[in-house]
Structure 1
């Protein structure tokens, strides 16, 4: 037999916390408005924030008191009646078999080969095929070339080199050893 909830419902603690936040926030806000102190703006903002935070407790209280019949939950959360049969039972059994076979084939054929980790394999091990098929793990060498400006008016740096070639020091693109 379920207890009969009257008045405030099931979540009485959330209700009283929401009321307390509202009262404290209102008192702090009114202190900021009517008391002559140099930090009145802080009190006004703090009161408004506390009243805003009371909305969290009001939402908890409201959502905790929502009552849904088990017949309405049947479709949403998978509660099924024992006497239900027919096509629904066949479809559910087929769906469970299909999902199980897909799940087992992904585990067996290398979920790690696609980049994800295996749930049963320790979580951190990868297959050798995955490591060998990862070309992005190798270092890439990039060559930089110096180009001569097309228009001499755009060339504004005062170069002391008489010929047309501009010298650049060699730079490394990555600091990782090869």
Structure 2
């Protein structure tokens, strides 16, 4: 059931895009190096960037042509063979891993999930007796009398400004 592909493999489009990006990038780069224009540095950088972007298409082409036999895929989708899953180091590691991950999963369920800080704060505030949240918090601002300054005789006098009494109410947002 093996399909026959051409010499380029399954992803010929990615191959040709990679080649096109390399040709365009190299052309722009060489134009920047050998042609006497005032924006030669732009051409050099643009050519290098286009060549770098061609690496994406090369990776697509390469990874698209990797062939994995179906026997090796069985283990990835959870269809373990009986002889492999029975014992040995692999079986011990698998059972230890499932025990640890299920323990971690169950601890999250017991503790109410990994909630946000706000929900934790609300839960702790709800647990403490007599804690109520009020809608507004008032903050009073008061002016203070100027204190005697210990200025040196050579220092110029400082003008005193009286501030009116103000009160401000704020609400937590």
TM-score grouping bracket, smaller chain normalisation:
0.5 to 0.7
In proportion to residue count, which structure has more helix? 2
**Separation in structure 2 between the aligned mates of residue 18 and residue 73 of structure 1, nearest angstrom:** 33
Q: Does 1:17 align with 2:17?
A: yes
Distance 1:94 1:52, change over 3 A: closer
The answer to whether the Cα contact below 8 Å between 2:18 and 2:55 also exists between their aligned partners in 1 is yes
Q: 1:177 maps to which residue?
A: 171
Q: Per the alignment, in what secondary structure is the counterpart of residue 9 of structure 1?
A: coil
**Separation in structure 2 between the aligned mates of residue 127 and residue 24 of structure 1, nearest angstrom:** 58
**Separation in structure 2 between the aligned mates of residue 2 and residue 54 of structure 1, nearest angstrom:** 30
Aligned-CA RMSD value: 5.0
TM-score by length of 1: 0.54
Distance 1:46 1:98, change over 3 A: closer
Correspondence 1:76-91 to 2 at 5 A: 80-83=80-83, 84-86=85-87
Q: 2:126 maps to which residue?
A: 132
Q: 1:46 maps to which residue?
A: 46
TM superposition shift of 1:55 = 1.4
Distance 1:31 1:177, change over 3 A: same
Aligned residues between the structures: 160
Distance 1:89 1:157, change over 3 A: farther
Q: Per the alignment, in what secondary structure is the counterpart of residue 63 of structure 2?
A: helix
Q: Which runs of 5+ in 2 are unaligned?
A: none
Q: Which runs of 5+ in 1 are unaligned?
A: 118-124
TM superposition shift of 1:54 = 0.8
In proportion to residue count, which structure has more strand? 2
Q: 2:109 maps to which residue?
A: 107
TM superposition shift of 1:92 = 4.6
With a CA cutoff of 8 Å and minimum separation of 6, indicate the structure with the bigger relative contact order: 2
Q: 1:160 maps to which residue?
A: 159
Distance 1:116 1:28, change over 3 A: same
TM-score by length of 2: 0.55
The answer to whether the Cα contact below 8 Å between 1:14 and 1:60 also exists between their aligned partners in 2 is yes
